[in-house]
Structure 1
Amino acid sequence: MKRIEKVYQALLDIWQECEKQDFLMKPGSSAKELAEQLNLTRANTSLELNKLVREKRVLKIKSYPVGYLPIKVLEEKLQIQWDHQIEEITDLSTFVHRPTRKVKRNPFEMMIGSNNSLKKAVFQAKAAVYYPPNGLHMLLLGPTGSGKTFFANKIYQYSIFEKLIDEDAPFESFNCADYYHNPQLLLSQLFGYTKGAFTGAEEDHAGLVEKANGGILLLDEIHRLTPEGQEMLFYFIDHNRFNRLGETGFKRQAKVLIICATTEDPNSSLLETFLRRIPMTIQIPALNQRSLRERIELTKFLFEKEAKRVQRTFVIDIDVINALINTAAYGNVGQLQSHIQLICAQSFLHNLHEKNKISIGIQELPEEMLSQWSSSSKNIQRSREIEELVGVTTVIHPSEKGLDEEYEGLNIYEIIEEKVKILENEGIPEAQIHQYILTDLHLHVKNFINNKAVNYNLLKFVDPTISNLTIELKKIAEKNLGVRFDRKFLYYIGMHLDAYFRREKKDKLLSQLDIHTITSDHSREYEVAQLFKLEIETCLGVFLPEIEVIYLTMLLVSIETVEEKRQVSVLVVTHGNSTATSMVQVAVELLGAAPIVALDMPLNLSPDEMFQRILHQIEELETENGVLMLVDMGSLAMMENKLMEKSGVTIKTIPNVTTLIVLDVVRKINYMDLSLAGIYSSVMKDFLATVQLQDNGRAKAILSICTTGRGTAKKMEQMIAGVLQNSTEESVEIITVSSLKIHQAMPKLIEQYQILATVGTKDPKIDVPHISLEDLIEGSGDKVLRQAVGLPYEKKQRKPKNTVVKDLCQDALNTYLVYLNPYHLTDLLLDWTKELQMKVETTFSNILILKLVVHTAFAFERVIKQDSLTYTDPWREELKEPLEVVSNTIKSLEEKLVLSLSEDEKIFIAEVLLNE
């Protein structure tokens, strides 16, 4: 779990148990309180709390000290809906009694993914409902179950929220497929009918258009509406007039915002005249197109709904969430909900006599999903991918309290027993079962030690004999493994042994694993576990079975991996009253806690006094892996040998320290497993050379390289400037260069500039990072680019706009096309790629669009040159579908250009599509 989620979870845990008066009397939790509880620095805790405020999950109370409250719990306890535009206040008790402040939440903000996968859809919906005078009619596209009806409801709620329609305005929903085989009945439902209009019409009946007057009408599966019905509907859209079946003339009036929804390609199923009257098309992504975090949030949300229905707390194993979001062959939220309801129903049935808590393990998965989960080779990798977002178990309460990642039971025997049995029944090899269990233990121990604030007072609940025994076991492990364990490990082992000996039905042991594999792979840990066995049996007078020795062996392996990593310590020493402190503070705020200390040296100190202060500071550091000293002057660097001699500590010194060097060092210590020598060499190679070049008076530069040195290079220059804008105060020039002349130009550029990185279509092979054009367009090159100028990476970078892709296409075609107009052809081909995307029901990457446009343009040019390509590779069956799509969609383009592509050229285009 990431640090920000730990802080948020701790805040939730504190305030979920509080009453309404506690919120009004105490001004929130302070950063200091949370830091002490989580064993974090106050600065890091404050940093994460302010991020949570900006994310609108936490409210800041500007008291002394500053307090923080989780908005989710605040809304529940005070029974209000908070205005999320307000991030901080001075006095909550005064504030909540103002009626004007008890505002409703923006319905779109409450949707999972509103700021990510659904961000564009939300923006389009807002623009549509606000468009004067009465909003734009909308068409929602997306696969079955992706949430189109849900999204339409949110549009309705948002319209009320913004007072665009009345609070009691109607929302009518109609599925056109229900009456598909009876067009007359379908139209009568939409527009109503008069008595005698058809057989069975015994009285006048108002239709949905009439009932939705002043509100919103959702027409689902609109592709099932007959052409006659579409014509009647677009007449109503144009004139706000309609007639019931059996009436003459269009005398009735209604003002209705229409939202249509379909799973089909609207161009193939709806009249063009009808589509022109639905100007806003909104794509709702399938579940498998949404981010991992969103899928997990949706899964938890759906489990929470079921927990409320059965009024039980669910304890969900990580593999259940893993299977739900990864192994099921579906792409919609509706199917996910069905699976979750089935899992919860089975779990409820198996735990009928459990009044409070129900455990949900992999044994509750539907048979087909369990089979997919057990046979997948990617499960271990997937568990590791989601472990930052969920713990080994997730607890979901039935109340509004929300989600709690902490599982209070330390003993996971039952979970593992059940998992081993299922894997054995599925015929999984013993070695793979061993790896599954070891992974579970890794996650379990990591979740417990890293994600939980340990309260050492809990040790008083452990039997004193067990407590004393664990101290001896700690000594045995440290002596034989050559490592040191802190109190967290002692606490964990003590609670684990206490749970084991209190456990009922001790004869229900773990299924037998391949003991030989475990003992050979982890022989040292197995030897220590056998020593544990002797000590436990001697101390407690009990027999410890061999399988428990194996279990303890695996625990030792897991616990070793979560022992605090010994890092290189860093000492920043500069002259002045606060220079070093400021540098270190910036680095820690940006990159998180690290073993780094600042030492500010007053200018009036003598060299001997400086030496003694540095020596004293080094002696207080953790020096097992050495100390890296960052200093501002050469006189301090010259003390290195004398300091090593006096302290006995290995020291490396880097002079001319700057804030960017400190940032680089902290980043490498936190995220790269390097020794002292490795960090020193890395900084000297990657960063200090830059400082030395700067000293030689050369300006910093980034090279933008393309074929001509114009068009594409200029577009890249704009993109590079966008990445670096407002990121650094240093001046960095962006120089455009032709790849055709790069070798002649490079010596002069190296002499004139300090080149930090190169970007573009050709790698000049000089000793600096190179970012390809593809990486820059897709956004992955931003990280390399920012690191090249010594900046921390920001995940939320700007995304390249389609206009950039268009310019790049035009530039490439303008350079190479001879006969065809590159500007006209680019527009035609980009429109064609949009049609392709609709046909294959996916969104293309910018790189794929670029490839398709350029490749297809050259294909048409080859037709004119009578030099079309011949496809000589063996035919592959998987090419059939993409070839059919390419052939069908490119017909209109061939007609406009009066050029026909050969079948072989179309196969090559299908290859481009298939390879992506």
Structure 2
Amino acid sequence: MKRMDLVYEFVKEHTARFSPDELLGGQGLETNEIADQLGMLRNNVSKELNELLRLDKIIKLKGRPVRFLDKAGVQTLLNLPLAESCLEVDSIRELVAAQAEQDPFSLLIGSGKSLKNQVEQAKAAMVYPPVGLHTLILGNTGVGKTLFARMMYNYGKYCKRFSEKSPFIIFNCADYYHNPQLLLSHLFGYVKGAFTGADQDRDGLVEKADGGVLFLDEIHRLPPEGQEMLFYFIDTGTYNKLGETERKRKAGVLIIGATTEEPSSHLLTTFIRRIPVIIRIPSLQERTVSEKIDMIRHLFANEAHRVNKSIKVSPEVVKALIGSVSYGNIGQLKSNIQITCAKGFLNSLNSSQECIELEFSLLSSDIKDGLFAIGRNHREFEELGQRLAAPLVIGPEGHKPLVEDSYDMPFNLYRLMEDKITLLRQEGIDDSYINNFIANDVHINIKKLYNRLAKDKENRERMLKVIDKEILEFAEKMKILAEQNLGRAYSERFTYALSFHLSAFFKRIKEKEYKHAVYRDPSLQIEEAELAVALQIKQAISQTFHIEVPAAEVTYIAILLKSVELERQGQVGIIVAAHGNSTASSMVAVVERLLGEVTSLCAVDMPLDVSPKEILEVMTEKVRIMDKGKGVLLLVDMGSLFKFETTLVERTGSAVRTIDMVSTPLILEAVRKTNVFDMELEDVYAALRAFRGYNNDFKEQEKHPGRLIITVCASGSGTAVKLKEMVESILTEAGEKGVQVVPAGVRELDRKLKELQANHAILAVVGVKRPKAAIPFIPLEKLIDGSGERLLQELLGGKELSVGQAQPSAVVRDLCEKNLQQFLTFLNPAKVIGMLLEFVAQLEGELGYQLENVVKIRLVVHVGYALERMLLQEGLRYVEDASQLEPGLVAAVDRACRLFTASLRISLTEDEKYYICELLQLPVASEEEGL
């Protein structure tokens, strides 16, 4: 046993022998006593005790003489939760008093400043009799909504609203968003026989949370039926499990919900009324400078504790870290700090430094850009300069965990780094190679962790509408396998492409239409490693789906591994430069008003009294900032600005291309081609040189003898055919009859494009591989997430960029129909979907305005359920005051509902119509507010 372990076991054993009164009276173990009993030198025992103190294993009682106690033993004997690490106190009695007085919210950074009102709201909600007030926490991703909810729960225990054994149950409503019945069964439980597979009774989360808190994350994903059941439970305290007819079960639960969305856009008005406390958590950008620095200190202290070293952080690094946070708030800040600390730790291993020093040069390029970003806010930049006159030095003893952190790493990153370095050195690998390998490995793993935690599930839910869950989950596992074996980072495009391919493959096998054709295109230069991974995937398909997979599939999958593009970093940067005090800024402002904020676009105004030399300096810096690895496009008006290109290339080393006669339509088209279609610099340059405005472009397009859209996958069948069907459904919805959709394989794509371009206008390529030609490319994942559909509509429509909401689409129709298929028993979804969409169209005509897509989807699904409720004579009863509904809206809904009476001979009750009115009355942000 190690010396430190011997010392700790002695302290642990003897602490357990003390009574609570002896502990409070000051009893403890002295260094000399421990040394004598163990037969060790005093200075060696002292050294081990200090190390145990740093590791948060023991408590140090200051005074003469110094005494030590086992921390876990003190916690057990006194039933005292001790959150602080490296405890050094005058006495245990003092510690007990301090713990009793400590308000959990006092640990929260900003509780007395930017979060003061929020903390007061939370405390009021917790102490309000008899069981507290239900609460909704609003805020962007990563602001700390879950942390705040846990703080509320801890405060409830602190003020004796809850006991120490009261539960805190977390449920993410998005996990079962696509299956409301399963979601409700998780919330309320079910009885045996409630549905197929319910072979025994099961308790729901409401029952498990009895006497405590039920935290519903992403509560906006709760379907209307779930909201109705939940607000009934809030009103009465009673509920029933699925399969029970009477609401006779009772539970006392405080509900805390969290959402990134505006409640009025996603939650029923009747549900929102039951949530009396709404707390908005500000974003990181809204917090004070001192709070941002405190967060930096706290997060660095956590890393220092993990690595067991002090960390010295330069002021420039702190500024860059604060400025690097653009969307992920504290979660993103934590990710960036861990990446930076990992690089610093790697350097410290090579130099045997006792302290990890973090300098600006160590930062990755995206974090470095944060320094320039924060420099635009002069007031904050100056205040940071005043507060950061010297480097921050954070020791490992500063670690103070607040609560369990969902964004924490499930592994010790630094220990893994040391193990990997040791292994690579044993293999005789050069240190410079090891450094690069470890740095890239760290960056990939940390980003993967945070992307997984913060990942939006919307695209996955869309995929589950057209692909079986088992196939999609299998494809996700194969993506990880391919990345690990090939050392690549594949995008979701690979997952979607493989899912479609497998779906089509299984269908062909089932229908006995599979053709055993093996081909190998030498031009693709498939590597042996790719073939090996393809063989592993083939074997996994056989084992998972219990099917014999032909050898030809290995080649198809290998082509997929080779052809599907890897994750692309950055976009072409666009700099608009023009003479005048605000000419460039005005044009850029118009574009951003139309398209939203575009991070790859910036303006440089050139006042007439500023010399070209000064403007060149500004342009040089802008090019350095805007180049994310794919070059920079300059859109200028005239004169000296057009001549800067060569000088900028020499100064920055970036690829730069310039186009003059800049106009707002030219900027719009540039943004579309770089951001939306993700085209390369030379392709954008070539396309924009021929651009003559939207009207001219579309007129020329219309004159062309034939228009094509190409769908592409590995083999030209399977995925490409499935994509062809999806694109054709979009064309049908758009009323386009003159556009042909042609599937193609990746091996023949560029050759086929060259042949087709002679007699056709190719509008776009959709699928898994970008063409070499300057043709708009819509990746597979964009078609899935809905944005690709809008892009296709713009390409087809011959109109300028659409700013408003798109019309009901094929994807929207499909989502509604798939949803209804799961839950309608007596009505045929395929038959009623057309009538439901017609109902929506008639309702829009009655109202005199178009509904947003999200409202249409919600309306179609709700009314579909309502029609079935009428068949079962189980219509909802409207419990609110109907007189509060807008009379004109009630009349419009009533007239539109006559369609069901005439076509189906089903009449909705007045109560059901009132609920439709309530859905429509939910306010939606206006265009001005959205901008």
Q: TM-score, normalised to structure 1's length? A: 0.35
TM-score by length of 2: 0.34
- Structure 1 or 2, whichever has the larger Rg, is 1
| Larger RCO, structures 1/2 (Cα 8 Å, 6+ apart) | 2
